[in-house]
Amino acid sequence: MTDQHVLHDISQAIPETDDVTVDDLSDDLLASDQPQVLRGLAADWPAVKHGLESADRIIDYLQEYDSNNVVTAMVAPPEAAGRIFYNQDMTAFNFKFRRVALREALQQIHSQINLPSSPTLYVGSTNVDHWLPGFREQNDLPIGHLDPLVSIWVGNQTRVAAHFDFPSNIACVVAGHRRIILFPPEQLPNLYVGPLHFTPAGQPISLVDFHAPDYDQFPKFREAVENARMSVLAPGDAIVIPSMWWHHLEGLDAFNVLVNYWWRSSPAYMGSPLSVLQHAILGLRDLPDAQRRRWRELFDFYVFDPDPENFKHIPEAARGVLNPVDERTAAHIRKMLRDKLL
């Protein structure tokens, strides 16, 4: 194992601009398949301004909106060094889930700000409207037409391993600084991703320790690093992370707050592609090679490269799922799948 942080090997920065304001956010920018840092996008948020004053001020500000609903926090001992990960033999995690009031979580982080080595406390993916009602009246992006899920992330110095999200994402740093390392989707084979069924926070993650990359154990990771892009975001900065891009996030300060917006480019009733992947592993992966090849051809024909001309011989009213999927058709498919899986 080396003692070299992976950041020393990354030569590319994430493209950035400081010319975009909240009024300039366009659907084209948000739908781009390339990431972009938007410097100062949320600089006018009151929350950002309070965070720049002090940790005390932003904590007091957040508590003004606290709904008193209990949150789920990840808590790890000091030796975890902020890394949200597995235990040594990957039979469990290196942290515990703890149900706690948001107010208590904020105060606990605050009480440990000056400790040389503090336990990790991380409140991730917490719905803003449910836990901090009214916060978005003064701290928001004008993208309601995308029907985003808006979440807040609060913690001390934490490291979230590289993972991907299916929804597109714009994340705004409210307090502290965040180092973000991105990898294009095609770097999947070089990231040494862990289990699909057992993950710290729902998404499969890279098993490489970015603070000490073991290139003997993970040799292909060198190629991933050659294609990586990295930036450090300050309070008020934002980043657009397109769907399926791998991202590693690190909170650099003793108190960090981030608000992000996730949205889909397809209706929610169409379900989760990751569930489709797991179902495909169940039904297809272990078939004989010849059968898998035939199924790959079927998937190309019906899913990845469908041509409407191929189905014109079927009356439109009789095409079922071969027509564009609407909510009614999706409900029918889900019922059919449930019945077949029983």
Domain annotation for the chain: domains and CATH numbers: 6-265 (2.60.120.10), 270-341 (no CATH)
Q: Which residues pair with 262 in a beta bridge?
A: 149, 169
- Residue 95 pLDDT more than 90? yes
| Euclidean distance between CA atoms 51 and 80, whole angstroms | 26
Three-state DSSP state, 73: strand
What's the pLDDT score for residue 334? 86
- Residue 3 pLDDT more than 70? no
What integer best gives the mean pLDDT of the chain? 93
- Residue 227 pLDDT more than 60? yes
Band of pLDDT at residue 52, cut at 50, 70 and 90: very high
Q: Report DSSP state, residue 132.
A: S
User: Between 46-53 and 55-64, two packed helices, what is the crossing angle to 10 degrees?
Assistant: 140
What's the pLDDT score for residue 138? 96
**Terminal-residue alpha carbon distance, the chain:** 47
- Residue 5 pLDDT more than 90? no
H-only helix segments in 156-288: 221-226, 273-280
To the nearest whole percent, how much of the chain has pLDDT over 70? 99
- Residue 340 pLDDT more than 90? no
Tokens of 188: 């999947």
What's the pLDDT score for residue 4? 62
| Euclidean distance between CA atoms 123 and 118, whole angstroms | 16
- Residue 20 pLDDT more than 50? yes
What is the enclosing helix (H) or strand (E) of 63? helix 55-64
pTM of the model: 0.91
To the nearest whole percent, how much of the chain has pLDDT over 90? 81
Count other C-beta atoms under 10 Å from residue 49's C-beta: 16
Burial class (CB in 10 A: 0-12, 13-18, 19+), 312: exposed
